[in-house]
Amino acid sequence: MTAPAFACPRRKSLVSEIWDFTGPGYRKAAKKFHSLANANGKHVVLTGATSGLGLSSARTLASLGARLTLVVRDAQKARQLEQECLALGAVSVSIILADLTLLADARKVVAELISRDEHIDVLINNAGALFNQRAETSEGIEQSTSLLFLSPVLLMRGLKPLLSRAEEGRVVNVVSGGMYTQRLSMSWLRSGFAHRYDGPAVYAQAKRALAIVTEEWHESWGAEGIFINSMHPGWADTPGVQSALPTFRKITQWILRNSDEGADTINWMALAPEMSGVSGKLFLDRQARTYYLNAKTRERPTDRQALLKYLSEMID
């Protein structure tokens, strides 16, 4: 199901791979970009549309004429955004309120969309946060695990019947270059990261888990005409980075990309004709990238299987 045009490019040096995360990295890549395709009324479900990359994506997709369902947690921000997206040219905008750290809310989103019975062209799992303090939700799940891994997978799986009714359903999972620093640890994930909590590492574990599941499922989903991929946005100067990583932001501020630059590949993956039939890849700046920058972070096949087992225990 993978178009040869998106075979992974040859490995570059580590420094050059990391430099690609930056604003200058984006601008170098963007010299070859062409304009985004028109959305032509495609129905896009986008999570986390009220800030940073998601906000940029909502605005761009609206101006390209998408039909938007925005899954957000803040009703006031949602009202403003709905008006803005309509003014920009969205064919329609519908809002679903959900706190995606809660699996019950993710299930409610699925139930609401299934009851509306409209096909979905693109699901963008973008909502996210990096938590520097460990906390469990009222459902007893460590919050990074539920927000960054279990809820996106629940949305994917629950909305699959609606994605399969599109001419070509697509899923874009927003992960993170941070996952390059981590090898999936099933014992750590299973323990809810309880014995040792390190916000950036836990965040990276959850993103790594989402990327692995996307890779694991892509063949069977592709056989049903749904194409699922991950992307990482590089380093973008968003409110999320400003609040969760103030020191990182202070040091790197001069080379960070802006939200529009970080979100470009999300929108491109949602709409580009070149992405037709492409599945199971990880993208940065409209190019397929390696899943691992260091062989030591490659998980064992048994851990991939253990991850799928854990997933079915948590969400089935």
Closest CB 141 distance from ligand NAP, rounded Å? 12
Closest by CA position to 192, among listed 150, 158, 220: 150
**DSSP assignment letter at 177:** G
Residue at token pair 């020191």:
247
Applying CB under 6 A, the span of 10-18, 46-54, 274-282, 292-300 interacting with ligand NAP comes to 46-54
Stretch in the footprint of ligand NAP (CB under 6 A) among 35-43, 45-53, 153-161, 273-281 = 45-53
Question: Order of strands, edge to edge, in the sheet holding 43-47?
Answer: 92-97, 67-72, 43-47, 122-125, 169-174, 226-231, 282-284, 287-289
Which of 127, 209, 270, 288 touches ligand NAP by CB under 6 A? 127
One symbol per residue from 204 to 233: x for binding ligand NAP (CB under 6 A), - otherwise; what is it? ----------------------------xx
Binding to ligand NAP by residue 25, rule CB under 6 A? no
Helix, strand, or coil here: 296? helix
Name residues whose C-beta falls within 8 Å of residue 99's C-beta, 6 or more positions apart in sequence. Answer: 73, 105
List the beta strands (DSSP E) in the chain.
Answer: 43-47, 67-72, 92-97, 122-125, 169-174, 226-231, 282-284, 287-289
Question: Among residue numbers 160 through 179, which ones bind ligand NAP (CB under 6 A)?
Answer: 174, 176
* The one among 48, 158, 169, 280 contacting ligand NAP by CB under 6 A: 48
Least distance CB 100 / ligand NAP (angstroms) = 4
Half-sphere exposure of 115 (CA within 13 A, CB side): 7
Which residues within the stretch 66-105 sit at the binding site for ligand NAP (CB under 6 A)? 73-74, 77, 98-101
Q: Pick one of 2, 22, 50, 182: the residue that binds ligand NAP (CB under 6 A).
A: 50
Among 129, 212, 213, 269, binds ligand NAP (CB under 6 A): 129
Q: Does 6 bind ligand NAP (CB under 6 A)?
A: no
Query: How many Å is the Cα radius of gyration of the chain?
Result: 18
